[in-house]
Amino acid sequence: MLGFIVLVAAVGWLFGYVTGVGYWGLVAAVVFSLLMTWGSYFNSDRIALAMSRAQPADPRTHLQLHNIVEGLSIAAGLPKPRVYVVEDEAPNAFATGRDPKHAAVAVTSGLLGKMNRDELEGVLAHELAHIKNRDTLVMTLAVTLVGVIVLLGDWMLRALWWGGHDRDDRGGGAGAVVALLGVVLLVIAPLFAQLLQFAISRRREFLADADAVFLTRHPQGLTNALRKLQSDRTAVRSASRATAHLWIESPLSLEKARGERGATGVGAWLNRLFETHPPLESRIAALQQTTLGAGAFIP
């Protein structure tokens, strides 16, 4: 988050210099982005569920699912979230909602069919950890700051195109250099902002994995579930890049296969930079190290 703030301040200063409006442009961009994100935040659960075509899980048809969610919610000290099912053969799950009182958990029919009870419990514990840690709030802040940077970059390009470069004459050669740096920064700043957002998302996944182990006291459940997810190549049909960070693993399975299975060198490194999730093998290794360090949790 500190990295985001530094990046926004740098872009805002250059925006004010190039356009000659000072910091008012930065203030306007921040206010606009906050208003847009405020509305999205309070409707994030409905938007994510609708985009994923999730339907409420029938308590009689999905009795085990409801029982697991209820038991884990009691253990975590959380109100039971709403439970949804996405009719899709790809095994996956996600949590959404602005806070624990307005949360929802969704699982695919493929997950229900391919996981045993312990594995399903591990996956659901991971999603409840996201709710308990208020990861939706963290990611909303990240999205807000990305929006500010992208908006400032767009405004600065328009200002330069419509005559902002004329103001560079007041600084002579130094002004031209600053303007050139501004153009370079406004081009690469959105890219850096996205990388920061992805880095935050990846760190929250590791945290949710660790919290799921503490919640279930059975690390093998989540570990085995991640192994099954790793071996499965089906993609969630209703998933998109807009909701990819919500799922327990990247739902864009074809891209994941290219980035994780067999790819090496610079290409694989770049793929991992732009992933919203850490590689599954890294998460499995981290869980195994945690369980070995915990002593009582040795598999």
Instruction: Kindly list the catalytic residues.
Output: 127
Which residue's structure tokens are 């031209």? 176
Please state, in angstroms and rounded to a whole number, the distance separating the CA atoms of residues 186 and 190. Answer: 7
Question: Which stretch of DSSP H or E encloses residue 85?
Answer: strand 82-86
DSSP 8-state symbol, 299: -
- Note the helical H segments in the chain: 2-19, 24-42, 44-51, 63-76, 109-114, 117-132, 135-161, 172-216, 219-231, 253-260, 265-273, 280-294
- Among 75, 106, 77, CA closest to 246: 106
How are strands ordered across the β-sheet holding 54-56? 54-56, 82-86, 104-108, 93-96
The rounded Cα 119 to chain-centroid distance in angstroms is 22
* Rounded distance between C-alpha atoms, residue 152 and residue 189, angstroms: 10
Closest CA to 68 of 117, 134, 133: 117
